[in-house]
Structure 1
């Protein structure tokens, strides 16, 4: 099980079966907001879908091909973040994240992504962290920009979201850059 304390308010941990109700309720409360940017929202229609996500997350973690963790803010599940995938050959981690609509604007996700980036370089010994966000998703894009990630590209029509394509922006951070900024 993955557990990572970020600060006195925020921790990340692997979700377990008992978290399925809270995860589904959080998703359901944020459905309209999340649906604008995430392709899986319409496929999450009941608690069993959240249970399946948790089970799949455990498989990704056991196989070392991804890491999804619940974001706990003051002990409450408020979102999910982690590494959608790892490219171990090229030492790259691909960070993904979402936060419940009621918890936006508290700096939670910036602290989470900073901690995940630090974890990638310090503990996983990765060389690079990538973050991809929809071009129009200004809130999501603000996080890597705030943390000093470099915008490295713009991919046209990179993702199909329900009834239209969205462009993606790619942000990258190298271990050498991250460590230099922290010294």
Structure 2
């Protein structure tokens, strides 16, 4: 296992989320559900220990197939959020980053730090050329993370998806490898 520190001032780290974390992940999803369920179904898919294990097993299978990954963010030993590659396309060298947090993990810069580590990994270690970010136009916090990561708004897909009875427009953000490498947002090694 690895752990990457995410802050110089807080005891926070980024670690892989694996099926054996199912109980901890479920407790975290219970704390995060109200936050997340406004925009995405991620938390609503994890409602008991079996579904928690299944979610983490799905990402473990994706990691084994090199098509996705999931990482948790722990603050002072408690899982408070995470970052993930819901899509990792090694053939076309494109990937998508997603994030989530419970209230205790918000506003501390931990999600943004995790995103920077994922972009750095995708570009430098894996040769990805395009990193994408999708979010509801109603999700200002998600938009702010994309902007802090140096991403540009590619466009808006109007009335793109239905969630909880509400049609959402979806923003598409991206950063290209050469933009990332030329920027000053890269994490220190």
Q: TM-score, normalised by structure 2?
A: 0.89
1:181 aligns to 2:180 (yes or no) = no
Which residue of 2 is the match for residue 5 of structure 1?
4
1:36 aligns to 2:35 (yes or no) = no
Unaligned ranges ≥5, structure 2:
none
- CA offsets 1:100-150 (integer angstroms, 9 cap, x no match): 122211111111111111111111111110001110100011011122211
Compute the displacement of 1:6 (Å): 4.2
Which residue of 2 is the match for residue 50 of structure 1?
52
Which residue of 2 is the match for residue 106 of structure 1?
108
CA–CA distance in 1 between the matches of 2:166 and 2:112? 28
CA–CA distance in 2 between the matches of 1:28 and 1:34? 10
Which residue of 2 is the match for residue 166 of structure 1?
168
Match of 2:61 among 59, 62, 80: 59
CA–CA distance in 2 between the matches of 1:40 and 1:96? 10
Match of 2:88 among 86, 89, 94: 86
Unaligned ranges ≥5, structure 1:
none
SS of the residue corresponding to residue 67 of structure 2 reads coil
Name which of structure 1's ranges 86-95 and 4-13 shifts more when overlaid on structure 2.
Answer: 4-13
Contact map agreement 1:6 1:115 (CA 8 A) in 2? no
Which residue of 2 is the match for residue 156 of structure 1?
158
Instruction: Give 4+ residue runs of structure 1 displaced > 6 Å after superposition.
Output: none
Contact map agreement 2:32 2:43 (CA 8 A) in 1? no
Compute the displacement of 1:78 (Å): 1.3
Which residue of 2 is the match for residue 70 of structure 1?
72
Name which of structure 1's ranges 25-34 and 59-68 shifts more when overlaid on structure 2.
Answer: 25-34
SS of the residue corresponding to residue 30 of structure 1 reads helix
Compute the displacement of 1:26 (Å): 1.1
Contact map agreement 1:20 1:54 (CA 8 A) in 2? yes
1:18 aligns to 2:17 (yes or no) = no
Does the C-alpha gap of structure 1 residues 54 and 78 become closer, same or farther in structure 2, counting only changes over 3 Å? same
Compute the displacement of 1:71 (Å): 1.8
- CA offsets 1:22-78 (integer angstroms, 9 cap, x no match): 111111122112110112333322121111111111100000111111222333211
Compute the displacement of 1:4 (Å): 5.1
